[in-house]
Amino acid sequence: MVEYAGNRAAARARRAARAEATSLARRLDWVLVATVGGLVAYGLWAIAGITRHDVPGSPSYYVTRQAIFAAVGIVGAIGAVLVDPGVYRRHHRAIYTGTIALMVLVLLSAPFTRGSKRWIDVGFFRFQPSEFGKLLFVLALAGFLADRARRISSPRTTLQTVGLAAVPIFLVFLQPDLGTALVYGAALAAILFVAGTRWMQIALLAVGAVVFAVLVLWGLPSVGVPVLKHYQQDRLLHWTNPDSDPGGATYNAHQSILAVGAGGVHGRGVANATQTNLDFLPEHATDFAFASLAEQRGFLGAAALLCLYLLVVWRGLRIVAIAGDPFSAIVAGGIVVALLFQIFVNVGMTMGIAPITGIPLPFVSVGGSSMIANLVAMGVLLAIHARARAQDRW
Amino acid sequence: MASATANGRPAAPPRVVPPERVGLEYRLSPGVAVRIGILGIVAIAIFSVLFLRLWALQVLSGTQYLRAAQNNQLRTLPVQAPRGAIVDRNGVPLVTNVAGTSIRVWASDLPKHGRYTELQRLARLVHVPFAQIATELRKHAGDPLAPVTVDEAAHDDVVFYLSEHRDEFPGVEIARTYLRHYPYSDLAAQVLGAVGEVSPQQLESPGGRQFRPGDEIGQSGIERAYDAYLRGESGVAHLRVDSLGRPLSALQVSNEPTPGYELRLTLDVKLQQAAERALRYGIVEARNQGAWAANGGAIVALDPRDGSILAMASDPTYSPSLYVGRKPARLLRPLLDRGAAEKANFPGLDRAIEGGYPPGSTFKPVTALAALEEHLISPYDTLPCKGQVTIKGQTFKNWDPYVYEGMTMPVALAASCDTYFYQLGYKFYQLPRERKQPLQEWASRFGFGQKTGVDLPGEQAGLLPTIAWRHATYTPKTDPHHWQIDRLWKPGDSIQLAIGQKDLLVTPLQMARFYALIANGGRLVTPHLAEDVEQPGGGRTPAIVRRRFAPPTPQRVNVDSSALEVVRAGLDEATHGTIGTSQAIFGSFPYRIAGKTGTAEKTVFLPGQKTGLNLSQSWWCGYGPTDNPTIVVCALIENGGHGGTAAAPAALKVFEQYFGRQATQHGTVYSD
């Protein structure tokens, strides 16, 4: 009997779980799922072409690895869908502390790679905390703000948030990873914006950011306190004029624009993409993946990718609007804006309309951390959607 | 984005039970809706910018960028054309080409990191000091796409090593080149000149647009004068490279180079060799006779009928092959650096056209012709020839203090009597103002004080002093105390000019040209070296003459033939009469030679000395055979003492080679 009762209880639990799973499945944003799936597939196809000549003798070396990462990322995304976002809110202090701890760990332990410490080696792949940090950063700050929803308009709350955010931003900047630090900054702006910080405070923060940027770029170097590395400064200042020094500071920008332009409407194909295959285009599998894609697949291929991104951003903004609680809305806003910012800076820098910073192209650039972190972030978006209100209106 | 709460239908009850919520039920407030709307607009703006930029790059300017990307990997290289050979009048090659391998560095392809170590390794390999390569690279810094030649003539083992380790030397190129080869080593070095890389100054000069950086062009002598014919036209080749500049394909020549034309000179190798030997012989002879400072000279041999130069020697000389490949800088220094050149007594100087010397007695025929033409004296009037003569309270000495007799003009020429010509000079001085300066006018008609127009760069005009020149030259700056006296034309100026002394400066070529005028009956020739340019024939195809350089027609100077006859008689007497100054040298020669010795005083600064010495320049100029002259020889031995002891024996050697006969005996020389 006991056994029977136990069986009945178990069956009930199983039924409830099945019901929840079906309901969850029904409440998923299938457009977003399809779009992200398409992006991952498209990204793998693009990487297959871009890296075909990179490892002599094994043309699919990178694409295989990348596919494995994508699979891990999908598993991570499914896991994220199953977690109620409220869990993150309750534990935002732990998330924040954990993020900071990870970043300090990177600075302390990671070996130097190309002049910067960004990775922690975990066996078969190198774990890059700052990529996961993006999501954790958004979750932690959103939790902090959601707790103070009633005092959102007080300057004290805003200053506290900025102060909290400054620590991880500074740690990432120290790695040094200027691009990711900027992504964090964009996410912070989005979080405050969606949380409902007063316009006046946002305006003051914007002015403060501009003053800070001017100080870092011109003010402090002129009094002998270089904040940025030389190459960072050069790239930030020279991007408006990519031909000013084709052999030096603007070499990357120059070659990248050449690659994009040479692609034309239909692309040069994988075999004929000389900018990519002959290594004129540096970092073509990671930071400059878009230029490489544009060279190989032309306007049609590159525009298709941008369309997929546009779809993701649209679905993301929609989730911000229908989110079931302030925390979820803030998280969704942070995720979407961080994604939008990465897309703009990365694609823009390959075409000479944004400064060159080392930001990977979401879902395309070779790199496990970025792929997995972005997929998990999409999972969080989907989880928010599944628990949203009034979803059939949209 | 309208507010979701405006929804008329009731929202479906959430089946997933949300966890307990803190605070109120969340509503999308109008403020937040606006903010989401703004984010949407920003997103649309960003995507529009990206799409438009992508469109502009790929669709609007795609073809242009495609071309740029293709050029990115295609490197255009010039293919050196073989430079034309230079041959003598009989077709004997004086300068040819040999194939060589050069090692060049493309600065733009050197790795950013480790270029220092790479260049140091390269420097050790090719045995060129690292500092030298670094300097060259810095010189080319303005043009990163111009290669820097590190070694023009690389050894085979170096080339093998480099081609085997090509990957370790990015930016280093091994190229086939042609190198100048000199079968006769230093023969006619100053005349032939050297070839060298075009300099930045030359590239910027008005005519520099025809050159590309790295081109080898004629830098001096014939190589420079006829560079346009000799150079040929370099071809174009394409090479596919990757981003490190490593070649991906073999060199594809798209434009074959056009070889340069062959240049035929009027020089005769045998005579040139004889002239250079004679010059060295004359210098040794002069030293043996006590002229210890004899250290250089020049010999010119030309055909008096058309001015073609048969031989042109200058001593000291150098080996033009020094300019080929990379030789120790120490050896090249006398040719490039002034101080070192002075120590080596200017081996790069072509004394035949660039050296200015007082002509001394070899100038006396000019005075004689001018005096006859101006009717200052008749040929067989006698003037006393004495050990010295005092004019206007100033005493002028004869080279032979013991002579005391009356002389006619031919005798005065033969004995080279200074006092006779002093008196003629004074007659010129005494001429009334309206007669102007006939001596200088005649000298100028005979080509003095002006360039001969020889087809070589760097020719000097010499100096023919006139009243106007003296007036213009001496100013308060030259001498604040005596300039007003210095600038006057005084009797001594005319008197000294009559025997070719004081301010007068001539080049050996000008002198030879004047003696050619005496020999050919009063026509001034234009000396020249180039005969024609030819397209070299190969195998059975004969050479094709592309352009013949017709020498300018000799100009009549309207000198009276009877006056010339008198001078010719005097010059013949000088080599055959008992009183002749070079009778001991030429008297026994089977062919009848006529000519004049000269011993010119010149203040000389010997290498490494600060105070000037008054030393005699030894001259001899003449022609033969006297009845129908076919060759003029003019010899000059610097600081060689008397004309009869150094220059005349040297000139005889040239005649011996030309006529193929030896002089039988050698008498005691008593000459000025």
Q: Considering only residues 23 to 42 of chain B, which have any Cβ-Cβ distance to chain A shorter than 8 Å?
A: 23, 26, 28-29, 31-33, 35-36, 39-40, 42
* Token code pair at residue A49: 């072409």
Q: Is B55 on the interface with A (CB under 8 A)?
A: yes
H or E segment at A97? helix A92-109
Do the chains contact at B54 and A393, CB–CB below 8 Å? Answer: no
What global pTM score does this model have?
0.65
Vertex A312: Cα angle to A307 and A314 (nearest 5)? 90
Q: What CATH number is associated with residue B204?
A: 3.90.1310.10
Q: What's the angle, vertex CA A101, arms to CA A95 and CA A107, rounded to 5?
A: 140
B175 forms bridges with which residues in the sheet? B102
Q: Does B43 touch chain A (CB under 8 A)?
A: yes
State the smallest CA–CA distance between residue B57 and chain A in angstroms. 5
Q: For residue A235, what pLDDT is reported? A: 66
Same domain, B258 and B394: no
Q: Give, in order, the Cα–Cα distances in Å from A143 to each of A149, A182, A318, B217.
A: 10, 21, 20, 78
Chain-chain contact of B18 with A387 (C-beta, under 8 angstroms):
yes
- Residue B631 domain-assigned (yes or no): no
Beta carbons of B35 and A262 less than 8 Å apart: no
Higher pLDDT, A72 or A283: A72
Q: Which residue is associated with the tokens 């929840």?
A: A20
The answer to whether residue B111 is domain-embedded is yes
Tally of residues, chain A: 394
| Strand ranges, E, within A233-392 | none
Q: Please write the tens of the pLDDT for every residue from A44-71.
A: 999 999 988 887 778 888 899 999 999 9
Q: Which residues of chain A make contact with B50, given a CB cutoff of 8 A?
A: 306, 343-344, 347-348, 351
Same domain, B255 and B397: no
Burial class (CB in 10 A: 0-12, 13-18, 19+), A299: buried
CATH number of the domain that residue B370 is part of: 3.40.710.10
Q: Do B36 and A317 touch (CB under 8 A)?
A: yes
Cβ–Cβ < 8 Å for B406, B475: no
Would the CB atoms of B57 and A257 count as touching at under 8 Å?
A: yes
In a domain, B512, yes or no: yes
Closest approach of chain A CAs to the CA of B455, in angstroms?
46
* B58/A260 CB distance under 8 A: yes
Q: E strands within B462-571?
A: 523-524, 530-535, 544-548, 555-556
With CB atoms and an 8 Å threshold, state whether A194 touches B32: yes
**Residue B284 near residue B315 (C-beta atoms within 8 A):** no
Mode of pairing for the β-strands spanning B86-87 and B262-265:
parallel
> What is the CB neighbour count within 10 angstroms for residue B325?
16
**Given an 8 Å threshold on Cβ–Cβ distance, is B65 in contact with A326?**
no
Q: Is residue B47 part of a domain?
A: no
Give CA–CA dist B589/B220, Å, rounded: 38
B225 and B84 fall within a common domain: yes
**CB–CB contact A344 B50 (8 Å):** yes
- Closest-CA residue of B relative to A295 is B58
Q: Could you give the CA distance from residue A170 to residue B135 in angstroms, rounded to a whole number?
A: 45
Domain count within chain B: 2
Which of B207, B230, B265 is the last residue before a domain boundary? B265
Residue B252 lies in a domain: yes
Residue B203, in any domain of the structure: yes
Does the CA dihedral A366-A368-A374-A375 come out positive or negative? positive
Identify whether residues B393 and B532 lie together within a single domain: yes
Test B54 with A279 for CB contact under 8 angstroms.
no
The pLDDT confidence band at residue B3, using thresholds 50, 70 and 90, is: very low
Q: Is B621 part of a structural domain of the chain?
A: no
The interface residues of chain B toward chain A in range 73-132, judged by CB-CB distance below 8 A, are 73, 108
Pairs of CB atoms within 8 A across A/B: 172
CB contact under 8 A, A348 and B51: no
Report CB contact under 8 Å: B65, A260.
yes
Amino acid at B311: A
Beta strands in B345-408 (DSSP E): 383-385, 388-391, 394-397, 405-407
CA distances to A32, A346, B158 from A70, in Å = 16, 20, 52
Beta bridge partners of residue B545, listed in sequence order: B534
Q: Are B318 and B348 in contact (CB under 8 A)?
A: yes
Mark which of B214, B237, B265 sits at the end of a domain: B265
Q: Do B84 and B187 reside in the same domain of the chain?
A: yes
* Residue A91 pLDDT greater than 80, yes or no: yes
Question: Do B36 and A23 make contact, defined as CB atoms within 8 angstroms?
Answer: no
The burial of A103, by beta-carbon neighbours within 10 Å (0-12 exposed, 13-18 middle, 19 or more buried), is given as: buried
CB–CB contact A20 B16 (8 Å): yes
**Interface-testing mutation among A293, A299, A306, with chain B (most B C-beta atoms within 10 A):** A299
Residue B610, CB-side half-sphere exposure with 13 Å CA sphere: 0
DSSP-assigned letters across all residues of B409-450: HHHHHHHT-HHHHHHHHHHHHHS-GGG--HHHHHHHHTTTTS
Cis before B542? omega within 30: no
Nearest to B308 by CA among B11, B630, B639: B630
**E strand segments, B307-350:** 309-315
What DSSP element (H or E) covers A46? helix A30-50
Q: Which of B:621-660 have CB within 8 Å of A?
A: none
pLDDT digits (tens, 9 = 90+) for B467-516: 999 999 988 888 888 888 888 999 999 999 999 998 999 999 999 999 99
pLDDT at residue B647 is higher than 90: yes
CB count, 10 Å around CB of B661?
12
Nearest CB partner across the interface for A261, out of B33, B43, B58: B58
Examine the domain organization and report whether B255 and B365 are in the same domain.
no
Per-residue pLDDT reduced to its tens digit, B297-355: 999 999 999 999 999 999 999 888 888 766 666 777 777 777 788 888 888 899 999 99
Question: Looking at beta carbons, which residues of chain B come within 8 Å of A390?
Answer: 4-5, 7, 11
| pLDDT tens, residue by residue, B103-139 | 888 777 777 677 788 888 888 888 888 888 888 777 7
Q: Which percentage of chain A shows pLDDT scores above 70?
A: 87
CB atoms within 10 A of CB B627: 7
State residue B189's pLDDT score: 93
Angle at A104 between CA A99 and CA A107, to 5 degrees: 130
Residue B392 in any domain: the answer is yes
Residue that finishes a domain, picked among B247, B265, B283: B265
Domain that holds residue B522: 360-556
Kindly identify which residue of chain A lies nearest to residue B246, measuring between CA atoms.
A278
Quote the mean pLDDT of chain A: 85
> Cβ of A310 and B7 within 8 Å?
no
Pairing of β B309-315 and β B383-385 = unpaired
Cα B462 from Cα B507, distance rounded (Å):
6
The shortest CB-CB distance from A262 to any of B4, B66, B243 is to B66
**Six token digits for residue B381:** 């009037």
User: Which B positions 227-256 lie with beta carbon below 8 A of chain A?
Assistant: 241-244, 248
Q: Are residues B393 and B257 in the same domain?
A: no
Query: Three-state SS string across A240-286, please?
Result: CCCCCCCCCCCHHHHHHHHHHHHHCCCCCHHHHCHHHHCCCCCCCCC
Instruction: Indicate whether B366 and B245 sit together in one domain.
Output: no
Whose tokens are 């590239």? That residue is: B203
CB B636 within 8 A of CB B297: yes
Q: Are residues B92 and B234 in the same domain?
A: yes
CB B635 within 8 A of CB B355: no
Are residues B233 and B382 both part of a single domain?
A: no
Over residues B149-190, the pLDDT tens digits come to: 888 778 888 888 888 887 788 778 888 788 889 999 889 999
